[in-house]
Amino acid sequence: MTANEVVERIKKNLGIPWNDKTYRDTFKVGDPNTEVKGIATTFMATLDLIQRAHAAGMNFVITHEPTFWSDRDTVSELAHDPIYRFKMDFCSRHNLVVWRFHDHIHAHQPDLIWVGLARALGWQQTAGSRNRFTFPATTLAALAADVQRRMNIRALRVVGDPHAKVSSAAVGMGYSIPRVLPDVDVVIGGEQPETGGQFDDTEYVLDAAFFGKNKGQIILGHAISEEPGMQDCANWLRTFVTEVPIQFIRAGEPFWSPKA
């Protein structure tokens, strides 16, 4: 089967209409008519990831995020960039194809990226709310350490009093962190500016902690919050693509913290 035939099968199994105007969910590298030997799903098609996929015998990479460093994968100004040229040359020499799966995996019911994050956290969802969770009362520091362990995070960021007692959380992914609300102890998500947003959770949590309220914020990082869902993507693909092996390969966390 070809890479294009895999994509057509994805479209047929999505359960929602395909948006032909998408600029994200398109082929980024390689010939769509390439025969697929194996499929690798991942959060980000870095050069390291592409080489590991090739070493594992996978020549079709399905990535959630861009390959060439911009949302539209614009390459018009990269013709002489040595990293771009090496990445393209490696894919060409090894007959690799890269396709992005972003808009439609989020639109799928349920959103497989969200499913992956909820699974990775391992908490009990609050009845009637997709993004609310409860857990046995603990401290913010202990909760953050548990999240760090569960999701294998090197560069976790936490705002609030580490001794604050917490037992509920609202969770977002990617660029989304829910707004701090009175009935939620902790807000968790991928990315958040300290200030300048529509509502600045970070500064609010700082003030709430100083005021003595049990509030906290945990910033996972975009990749950490969305990468687990690409494992669920691989599991989903296996239900209707059986001709070739399918493997989730972790791109890995981009950030690290120096040791004290």
For the domain that residue 88 is a member of, what is the CATH number? 3.40.1390.30
In DSSP notation, 213-233 reads ---EEEE--HHHHHHHHHHHH
Same domain, 164 and 177: yes
Q: What is the C-alpha to C-alpha distance for residues 187 and 140, in angstroms, rounded to an integer? A: 11
Residue 61, domain member (yes or no) = yes
Same domain, 125 and 188: yes
Residue that finishes a domain, picked among 93, 109, 125? 109
Residue 167, domain member (yes or no) = yes
Same domain, 147 and 217: yes
Write out pLDDT tens, residues 42-84: 999 999 999 999 999 999 999 999 999 999 999 999 999 999 9
Residue 184, domain member (yes or no) = yes
- Contact status, residue 231 vs residue 41, Cβ threshold 8 Å: yes
Radius of gyration of the chain from its Cα atoms, rounded to whole angstroms: 20
Same domain, 129 and 101: no
Residue 257, domain member (yes or no) = no
Query: Considering the entire predicted model, what is its pTM?
Result: 0.95
Mean pLDDT of 7-31: 98
- Contact status, residue 57 vs residue 26, Cβ threshold 8 Å: no
Instruction: Among 119-133, 177-191, 232-246, name the one with the lowest average pLDDT.
Output: 119-133
Write out pLDDT tens, residues 129-177: 889 999 999 999 999 999 999 999 999 999 999 999 999 999 999 998 9
State the pLDDT at residue 254: 95
Structurally, the chain folds into a number of domains equal to 2
Q: Quick one: pLDDT band at residue 196, thresholds 50, 70, 90?
A: confident
Residue 227, domain member (yes or no) = no
State the pLDDT at residue 246: 98
State the pLDDT at residue 96: 98
State the pLDDT at residue 103: 98
Residue 145, domain member (yes or no) = yes
Same domain, 101 and 132: no
Q: Which domain holds residue 103?
A: 3-109
